[in-house]
Structures are given as C-alpha cells and as structure tokens.
Amino acid sequence: MLYELNKVTRTFGDRIVLEIDSLSFEARKIYALIGPNGAGKTTLLNQLAFLDQPSSGQLQFKSSAVVYDHSSLTRLRRNVVLVDQSPILFSGSVWRNIEFGLKVRKIPKKERTRRILQALERVTMADFAHRDVHGLSGGEVKRVALARALALEPEVLLCDEPTANVDREHQEIILKILFHANSVRHTTIIFSTHYLSQSRQLAHHTMLLQNGRLSKNLEENIFQLRVVRRSEELKCRFADHLISFSDPDGLARENGLVRVHINPEQIHLRALDEGEIPEAWIAGTIVSLAKENGKIRIVVDIGQKLQLLMSEKQFFNRPYQVLQGVAVGIEAQGVMLLS
C-alpha cells in the first residue's frame, strides 16, 4: 500500500476534526474525498502531504511509519505535492512560478526547461509561459498551480477542491489534467470535492467524510430536488417542504434540478405527540427500525423513504415504534449537493 492510516486522529483543543480508524490508498489510483464543508477533507489531505502530524495514531507511507523530524519529512515531501484550494502564485511570470520549485530542488537548467514546457503543455497553457500571473483568471491560476506541481514529477498529487470557484469549462479542463496525470504518468491522485458526479467521472475509489469520520452512508438518502429559490443558500422542495443548504460553487440554478445526499446522522426525530413541532420539520410515519453497528437505523416515510441513524442511548431514552407518527428535522449542514 502507498498510504496506511491506523487509528489516526487530529484534534484542535477539545475538538476532534479527524478520526480515521483504518484507511489505505493504493499507488497509481485516483481517489475522491467527498463531503460537506468542515467534514475533514483538508485536514486529511494535510496529513497525507506530511504537512501536519496526527494527534494520535500512525500514518505509514510505503509500509514505513512516518517519522516527524525535519530530515525525514523533507525526504517524504519530495514524493508528494499538495495543490491548495486557493493556490498562491508569486509575482512575475507563469514560467517563474513553475520554475521556482525546480530551482529549490536543484534541477539543472536544461532539465528545468524541459519540465516547464511539458507541464505547460499538459495544462494547455503553452502560450502563457511569459504572461504575468496578475492578469490570470481564477481557473488559469489553478492550472498554473497544477503545472507547478506536475513539473516536480511527484509520485502523489493531492488536490484540495481543485474545481472550486471556477466555471464549468475550467472544471472540465482541470479534471482532464488530473486524468492525464494518472493515466499517462501513473501519478497517484487524491482530490477533494463536494460533488459525487466528479468522483464518478474520474475516481477509481470514492470516500465520504462526515464530521471527520469515514462514512458508509453515501448510497442512501440521495434525492433529486428542484431549486425554488437561489440566494446565499439554496432552497429546494422536499416532500412539500422547503429545505435549505449551501452551494459553495454556485452551480445550481433556480428552477433547475439538483441531486443531494442527506446525512442520516444529521436528521432529528420527534414524536408528533411530543408537543409543538417546528414549522420546517416534515411529518411522516416510521416504517422500519433496525439495530446496526451500535446505532438504530430508522426509516421514515415522508412521501419518500428517509433513513436516519441515532445512537442506542438516544433511542432508548425515547423509544419509537413502527407505524408511529413522527416529524423529522434536517440540518442544513447535513445536506450535500452531489450534482
């Protein structure tokens, strides 16, 4: 295995932002990390880039435990490059930006020239070599950042939201760049995204992160909804109610259709006889109860089958029954736009 993580956690103060029991990555594959904002995608990528140390647990690279001293990390980082969601370019030309990392690694000038020209060709920016970076669009900046990374010929390319905040044309270009790096150069690609459609288009394996943990809930609670209002938050009609959630890249259009995933662990449940029900909650009937890995899976018919998970403690504090009338409340953070 290229990477192996065993009981890796990362905490900031009292807050656990990453908690991975077991995870591995094979070489020469493409992996997509999907999940909402705050799911832990960037934190995981920083671990894989050797830019941050776990609070506990062990990370292995090529079957050797990572040692977090300066010389060991410097050696490891020569194999791996991370392209940030908002990459920073130096002032000056595109060429100068791509050349910088090669100079730091003491690559001879002739070889630097070869790599820069090849990298520019791969991101279809050969005509931009001597262009000042200050005049570039957001999508062009991301392509230069990818060229800068690819010129280093890394074994692993990590990309944090590579298609965020760029138009559809640049999104397709960026995905093609990543595909070429893997299929032709055999570079291992691990990228994060909000969109299941991108992972299905590109990745060999897709992993869903929610609340810092890997989730197996990706294939459930997927619905196609119509956007009825477009503002800072999307509003979509779901079972005759409006639900709100964010669209960080602004891809959804008013009156258009979107596919969403609703996290079953971010749905609240209340019996109809418990008192006043919040207006935004949706009434339904419990049609199934099952115990699953220390949690209780509850299926509620709200016109569509909605699945939710709650802890055994929560359930036994207020037991529910099949055919019981209930209301569900869906957290905005629990709704993820897939496509």
- 267-325 confidence digits (pLDDT tens): 999 999 888 888 889 999 999 999 988 889 999 999 999 999 999 999 998 889 999 99
Q: Which of 183, 211, 220 is nearest to 307 (CA)?
A: 220
Which range among 174-183, 195-204, 217-226 has the greatest average pLDDT? 174-183
- 41-93 confidence digits (pLDDT tens): 999 999 999 999 999 999 999 999 999 999 999 999 999 999 999 999 999 99
Residue ranges per structural domain of the chain:
3-215, 222-337
Position 21 confidence tier, pLDDT thresholds 50, 70, 90: very high
Q: Which of 77, 164, 183, 50 is nearest to 122 (CA)?
A: 183
Q: Are 130 and 121 in contact (CB under 8 A)?
A: no
CATH superfamily of 3-215: P-loop containing nucleotide triphosphate hydrolases (3.40.50.300)
How far apart, in whole angstroms, are the C-alpha atoms of residue 185 and residue 121? Answer: 14
| Residues, the chain | 339
| Amino acid letter for position 12 | F
DSSP output for 71-140: HHHHHHHTTEEEE-SS----SSBHHHHHHHHHHHTT--HHHHHHHHHHHHHHTT-GGGTTSBGGG--HHH
3-state secondary structure of 44: helix
What pLDDT sits at residue 197? 78
Strand ranges for the chain from DSSP E:
3-12, 15-25, 30-34, 56-61, 64-65, 80-83, 156-159, 188-193, 205-210, 213-215, 222-230, 233-238, 241-246, 257-262, 267-271, 282-292, 295-301, 305-311, 325-330, 335-337
> How many angstroms separate the Cα of 190 from the Cα of each of 209, 210, 323?
14, 17, 44
Position 30 pLDDT exceeds 80: yes
Sign of the dihedral defined by the CA atoms of residues 21, 26, 27, 31, in that order: negative
What pLDDT sits at residue 251? 63
Position 154 confidence tier, pLDDT thresholds 50, 70, 90: very high
Position 211 confidence tier, pLDDT thresholds 50, 70, 90: confident
- 225-240 confidence digits (pLDDT tens): 888 877 767 888 888 8
User: Which class would CATH give 222-337?
Assistant: mainly beta
What pLDDT sits at residue 249? 61
Name the β-bridge partners of 127: none
> Degrees (nearest 5) of the Cα angle 116, 118, 119?
65
In the chain, the percentage of residues whose pLDDT exceeds 90 is 70
How far apart, in whole angstroms, are the C-alpha atoms of residue 54 and residue 6? Answer: 11
What pLDDT sits at residue 232? 67
How far apart, in whole angstroms, are the C-alpha atoms of residue 259 and residue 339? Answer: 5
How far apart, in whole angstroms, are the C-alpha atoms of residue 125 and residue 137? Answer: 13
Place of tokens 């959630």: 245
Between these two residues, 228 and 185, which has the higher pLDDT value?
185
- Mean of per-residue pLDDT scores for the chain: 92
What pLDDT sits at residue 178? 98
Position 17 pLDDT exceeds 90: yes
Q: How far is CA 237 from its chain centroid?
A: 25
What pLDDT sits at residue 216? 76
How far apart, in whole angstroms, are the C-alpha atoms of residue 211 and residue 217? Answer: 13
Q: Are 213 and 38 in contact (CB under 8 A)?
A: no
